[in-house]
Amino acid sequence: MSDLEHIPPRFHSFHSVVLSVSFCIRPSFSASCEDHLWPAMELNSTTIHDAIHPTAAFAQNRSALELASPTGNDTGQASWLESQLNPKNRVDSLDPLPNPLWRIDGCTAIGTQYYALPLHVGEVPPMRLDVFLPMETTRDPVLRDVLDLDAAFHTKDSTRLNRLGVTRHILRALQKWSLEGEGTAEHIAALYKDKPFGTRIILELGFSLESVKITVATTWHVEKQLIRPKALVETLGLPKEVIPETIDISNLSIVQQLHDSVCLVRIHHHDEPEDGQKLWIFKALTSNTKYLVCELRNLLLMEPYPHVVSKPKYLVTKYCRFGGKTAVVGFIIPFYAAGSLRDTIPLLHIHGLLKPEMQIMWARQLASAVLHVRERGRIYYPDLRLDNVVLTAGGDLVMVDFEQRGVWCEFAAPEVNAIAYVHTLAVDEGAGEEGLEQEHGDDSRLLYNQFISGEERPNRWAEFLSRILPGWQVLEQDEMYTPLPHGYKSYNIPWLALDEAEQEAAEAYMLGRVLWCIFEGQCAPQHAAVWQSYKREPDYEFPEYRHTPLPIRDLIDGCTKGRRETLSKLVTRVGSKMVLRRKDGLVDVNCTPLEVLDAARDWWRVEVEVAERFLTMREELKGRGEWKGNWYGRLRLREVVQRLEEYEREVGVKEVDREVLAELLKRCK
């Protein structure tokens, strides 16, 4: 079937736009670094709005240009006030401490939130006493450069993060606070005992340790959101027999914070002593706890399956002084020590140890797990990435993370992205004609009218989204879980707007891309993702094939029909800079921030136009009863499982040697 055969004739002109997104307007590329004095565009908070989100189509916040120049001027020459030779711009020391009193396990939130653990207190419960850097104290361009704050934007793991200047500066500030200020062992122990869950250590950055200010901000908003165990049963309509036993958070001690919502813990003083001999995962959220409630419901109602994470072992409770209640703060699930496929697969591939029998086994297990979640779990899974696939000690695959939040557009299906773009614009105040006028003058009105046909209306994106998903605003009114309208059972707006056939097709799309990673030995479909860097970045990108067998290539292509090029094909990250990618695939390190912003704006204008026209077509066809959910004709999930099984039989893939695999996984760790 050709690309146009499944498009009604009246929409052929629209589809030609979809097929011809080979950018006509491209910045010129200079020949050498010496020819250009502008620094590359750095990663910071404005980068998201101005280049990474669809809001880039309507507003270019030029403050990003100012942040991109550490020198503060466009000549590339630093003035004395901005020079690092100036004593006031010197950091005391960034050497590792010989006997640190604190540890940083990772960070999140664009490099402004750090998982800090005290080492001078003894065992502490997982109360999430994180260090927060106020955004206004991270904007000084010289300080950003000295402390590697742009690298912290995308670096999450402990090993690489602790090499950055900002982490070492934070640790030195906490050391001084503990030795000379209020951060004594007694004071910190009292914070873990008496303060609410999610209380924050606010650290205002400065060049010298003397200029750093540290305060403790008691935050009640998380505990306010928490629900009592009994109310949890009533709110979710769960049968009492599926509710796990409760355990108080004081009976847990944190070993390591692994991710924003997941930490490694030990269980103490409990009726089952063997639990204390093992490591467990404690899952909890410090914001938007409604997603934790959704995940609890999904896991408690999920029919057991070997390749889907098991039901929680315990609900973890905490007495909350706000409201005088004992409420559920999180839950306990097994710890899979072999780690995630994201880190394991590229390491095995690099050393020539990723065998065909491993690949087909993991592919079958994952496809069957996704099918089980859809058919037996009766839910959608919107965040299918290698990050959310872990391995048992014996090498079996297990799907985790059932919050149903979703994933960024670099990983999602085009139809999901289309709704996500509209949603992003619906909640952005600048996504309209006025934003273009501010940046481009009088010509912007003509440009806007050419870009989006039809009469401009206030909140046009919000109105459009309301037709796609009535009552969507209610889903965003609060961070805590509340009964939802229209029978909604989750908060993911793009996925709730899809019917079941559309949801399965979108899952097949994500599955196809993950299968590509498994058979190509890569950690992700795109390299240099803006949001997160990896220990081992992909060598090349989907859909380039180098190692995948031909029958599996056909399967992956069948899963990913309708795929579109992503922004990373044009604008990508090199180190901590945003740069342009040339048509030959190489990057242009000489590009200016203005060129990056203009290229992103032009790309997003096309994408938003394509998204709106696609959704308009979908709306009209639905109204006439002519819409088919699997619009692109992708493989069904059951078909994927069957074809993987057929391939295994026909090729005669040998059995995986479990002892060898288990030993390899130990070596990978």
For the ranges 3-12, 180-189, 217-226, the lowest mean pLDDT is seen at 3-12
What is the per-residue pLDDT across 404-439, written as a single tens digit (0 to 9) for each? Answer: 998 877 789 999 999 999 999 999 865 554 333 333
HSE-CB for 579 with a 13 A CA cutoff: 21
Residue 648 binned pLDDT confidence (cut-offs 50, 70, 90):
very high
* Nearest residue to 548 (alpha-carbon basis) of 522, 523, 511: 522
Q: Phi-psi bin for 322: left (phi > 0), alpha (psi -120 to 50), beta?
A: beta
Q: Is the pLDDT of residue 456 over 50?
A: no
135: Cβ contacts below 8 Å, ≥ 6 apart? 45, 112
What is the structure's pLDDT at 438?
Answer: 34
Q: Which range, 393-402, 537-546, 658-667, is most confident?
A: 393-402
Q: Is the pLDDT of residue 68 over 70?
A: no
366, two tokens: 């994952």
Length of the chain: 669
What is the per-residue pLDDT across 102-157, written as a single tens digit (0 to 9) for each? Answer: 999 999 868 999 999 999 999 999 999 999 999 888 888 889 889 999 899 999 98
Q: How far apart are the first and last CA of the chain?
A: 46
What is the per-residue pLDDT across 556-581, written as a single tens digit (0 to 9) for each? Answer: 999 999 999 988 889 988 888 889 98
221-236 burial string, b = 16+ CB within 10 Å, else e?
Answer: ebbbbbbbeeebbeeb
**Strand residues in 44-127 grouped as ranges (E):** 102-108, 113-118
Q: Is the pLDDT of residue 372 over 90?
A: yes
315, two tokens: 């609900």
* Nearest residue to 615 (alpha-carbon basis) of 438, 479, 414, 471: 414
More confident residue, 93 or 554: 554
620: phi then psi, degrees, rounded to nearest 5: -65, -45
Q: Is the pLDDT of residue 82 over 90?
A: no
CA distance 440 to 458: 20
* Nearest residue to 601 (alpha-carbon basis) of 375, 431, 391, 369: 431
HSE-CB for 211 with a 13 A CA cutoff: 12
Residue 353 binned pLDDT confidence (cut-offs 50, 70, 90):
very high
HSE-CB for 650 with a 13 A CA cutoff: 9
What is the overall mean pLDDT for the chain? 85
Burial of 73 (0-12, 13-18, 19+ CB in 10 A): exposed
